[in-house]
Amino acid sequence: MLERYNQRGGLEGIMLVIRDEQTGAVLGCVGAQVQTFKGTVPFKRADEGTKGEYTDRPVIANLATAPAARRQGLAKRLMAAVEEECLDWGYEEAVLVVEASNSKALGLYRKLGYKAIGGEAATPNLKVSAEGKVVEATVKTVFMRKSLRGGAAGALDNLDVGAVLGVVVGAAVAAKVITDGGGVDSILAAGASAF
């Protein structure tokens, strides 16, 4: 995997690893590699019908933590470090692709400020078959982006309008219950159903 992230073709790449200080065991890793895109589609899979401009973007991939090292903030530390590296390369954004079925990863990335901006129904991928062999497959994926700019500009770029609208709609439902004379029990029930 380290070889995959070495610089090639003049584009940047890196693999970051956290090791246990006593044993040397790998506790977590993450990689990033600059790739060329047309819109939100990697250049190598874009066709004549693909919309958007050609641009180079750092793609964060292969975030993993050892089972015994989970829930200790290592994934957040790795993501912060790789995002800093992307900034050092001169990029103001980072993107990643995650399997749509990976709800834990999607939740983590949303908490870190990434928002979904697209996806593919059949992204080429490798899977382990029932016989234990690595085979080519396709998976449904979500394409996520985060602005790495600081301050208000970055915060606005990373604002998840859908989530904000959900909160506003939930608050509106609760307000309607209050104005209709509902008590605390009605408000709690409306709040629970709205979210």
Residues 6+ apart with CB under 8 A from 17: 26, 28, 29
The pLDDT tens digits of the residues spanning 63-92 come to: 999 998 899 999 999 999 999 999 999 999
Q: How far apart are CA 165 and CA 156, in angstroms?
A: 15
Instruction: State how beta strands 26-38 and 13-19 pair.
Output: antiparallel
pLDDT (0 to 100) of residue 126: 84
Specify the higher pLDDT residue, 48 or 32.
32
Q: How far apart are CA 50 and CA 58, in angstroms?
A: 20
Determine the longest span between alpha carbons in the chain, in angstroms.
67
Q: How far apart are CA 56 and CA 59, in angstroms?
A: 9
Weakest-pLDDT range from 8-17, 80-89, 179-188: 179-188
What is the CB neighbour count within 10 angstroms for residue 130?
A: 6
SS3 33: strand
The pLDDT tens digits of the residues spanning 102-159 come to: 999 999 999 999 999 888 888 888 888 899 999 998 989 999 999 998 777 666 766 7
